[in-house]
Amino acid sequence: MTIDRLGIYAGGGNVEADIDKVVNDLMALLLGQYQAFVPAFFNGFIAGPLRELANDAIDAVLHNGTCVPTKVRAVRCRLLGC
């Protein structure tokens, strides 16, 4: 693996175009060299930290009576009791 294409050079010119080129080069590096690992990373991320974050948010909504919308509060009362 080489990173010859990735570089930040000082000089005048269009900064936005340079940033776009750096982002494009990084994405090409990730998707070209690590193509097999990208789906595994996202699957692990979704199954781990993202799921825990969603579960914590849902738990907070269900157990916080002050900020729960009326429909959610009614369902919570039916399921958990008020």
| Cα separation, 47 vs 39, whole angstroms | 12
Domain boundaries, given as residue ranges, for the chain: 1-35, 41-82
Q: How confident is the model at residue 7 (pLDDT cuts 50, 70, 90)?
A: low
Give CA angle at 72 (76, 53), nearest 5°: 90
Structure tokens at 63: 């157990």
Phi–psi pair at 6, nearest 5 degrees: -95, 120
**Helix residue ranges per DSSP H, 1-82:** 15-33, 37-45, 51-63, 70-80
pTM strictly above 0.75 = no
The string of pLDDT tens digits covering residues 41-53 is 888 888 888 888 8
